[in-house]
Amino acid sequence: MRTCAYWQQFAEVTISRLMRPRWGDPSLIVTNTRSDMNLARACLEAASRAGADAQLIVKARLARGSASKLGPVIADAIRGSKLILDLCDEIDADPATIEARGSGARLLVTSVGGVEEYVIRALLDVDHDAMIHDAHLVARLWNQTDHCRVTSRQGTDLSFDLMPRRSIVGAGALSEDGEADFFPGAQVSIAPVEETINGSIVIDASDSVQGMVRSPYRFTMRSGVITAVDGGKEATAMRSWLESRDDKTIYRLCHFSVGLNPQARISGNMIEDERVLAAVDFGFGYQSSDFGGTVGSSPYHMDVMLAAPTIFLDGTEMSGRGRLNPELGFLQV
């Protein structure tokens, strides 16, 4: 566990640049019993210095893959807040959080356990302007793309339509009411047109159920739904997890995302993995209404990572082998 002093600069940047509370804003910081309390206290102190009406709640930790379910005390606190900082990545899909966002609350999410060194580098040691330039360029390209194809040396070959869906830029900072974002940034996401999603995904990096993947395994996709899970022990574990949810929605692909932070590496922690430069994240289950898709709500959400796939936009290579295509105007190549 790091000292409070270790987290002070991180907390100051998080509150002043990413949350940006105004004087008197009702602000809630949520952590869990397994998280670093020094970080939570540093964020609370930074929010108070910024003039926010700041409170800290410590909740019981969820088991990995469990459904988010908040009790009435924390749910009421969330509903009463304008700004919410979730330091344990466990509340974004809860009905109370969705209701609060519908009323204008802003939600900022991270989870630093096991990736403490990364989150410091990813927030303080990146060319933020270049990263955000690339994020907005990805969004513009995707918004103009009819057909996308993702392939990999491990065997991924998945195709889907993007139009008329719109991209969401996860810059890692709050700028408008009702927004939810994860930090450190950046990541761009979109909901592919569900019935057009067909092919195979070979998970070669990590997943949110098991962490790091040692032996790649395969999802067969038909019309946006997982129809088979094939491979070794990790495939068996994922298949068992999916079956134990007893929820049809968890089999549906709900978002396609690309990472853009050059400080990120595959670690088994999704907060880092999802932001690896040119890595791809496919999400399943709960789909935020922000995406404009048809998957809808679920108590569960699961992500799988591909470390260095190739993305084709209407036949043109956007990224591959861990790099962005400089011919398209990207700065982080």
Token pair of 263 as six digits: 């400080």
What tens digit of pLDDT does each residue of 25-52 get? 999 999 999 889 999 999 999 999 999 9
Per-residue confidence (pLDDT) for residue 70, from 0 to 100: 85
pLDDT at 5: 72
Which of 43-52, 87-96, 111-120 tops mean pLDDT?
A: 43-52
Query: What is the total residue count of the chain?
Result: 333
Report the Cα 9 to chain-centroid distance in Å.
23
Ramachandran class of 9: left when φ > 0, alpha when ψ lies in -120 to 50, beta otherwise: alpha
Residues 260-295: tens digit of each pLDDT:
999 999 999 999 999 999 999 999 999 999 999 999
The rounded distance, in Å, linking the Cα atoms of 19 and 82 is 11
| pLDDT for 183 | 93
Q: Is 185 exposed, middle or buried (0-12, 13-18, 19+ CB in 10 A)?
A: buried
Provide mean pLDDT across the span 96-125: 93
pLDDT > 70: percent of the chain: 97
Alpha-carbon gap, residue 174 to 183, rounded angstroms: 10
Name every residue whose Cβ is closer than 8 Å to that of residue 134 and which is 6 or more positions away in sequence: 186, 260, 324, 330, 331, 332
End-to-end CA separation in angstroms for the chain: 35
Residue 327 burial (CB count, 10 A): 9
Summary mean pLDDT of the chain: 94
Quote the pTM value: 0.85
Residue pLDDT, tens place only, 232-264 = 999 999 999 999 999 999 999 999 999 999 999
* List of domains in the chain: 4-113 (3.40.1830.10), 127-328 (no CATH)
The string of pLDDT tens digits covering residues 127-153 is 989 999 999 999 999 999 999 999 999
Give phi and psi for 49, each to the nearest 5: -65, -30
State the pLDDT at residue 106: 98
Distance of CA 333 to the CA centre of its chain: 22
| Rounded mean pLDDT, 213-234 | 97
Handedness of CA 114, 116, 122, 125 (dihedral sign): negative
Write out pLDDT tens, residues 179-217.
999 999 999 999 999 999 999 999 999 999 999 999 999
Question: Is 209 within 8 Å of 241 (Cβ atoms)?
Answer: yes
Q: Assign 67 a pLDDT band (cuts: 50, 70, 90).
A: low
The pLDDT of residue 156 is above 70: yes
Q: Give the mean model confidence (pLDDT) for residues 95-101.
A: 95
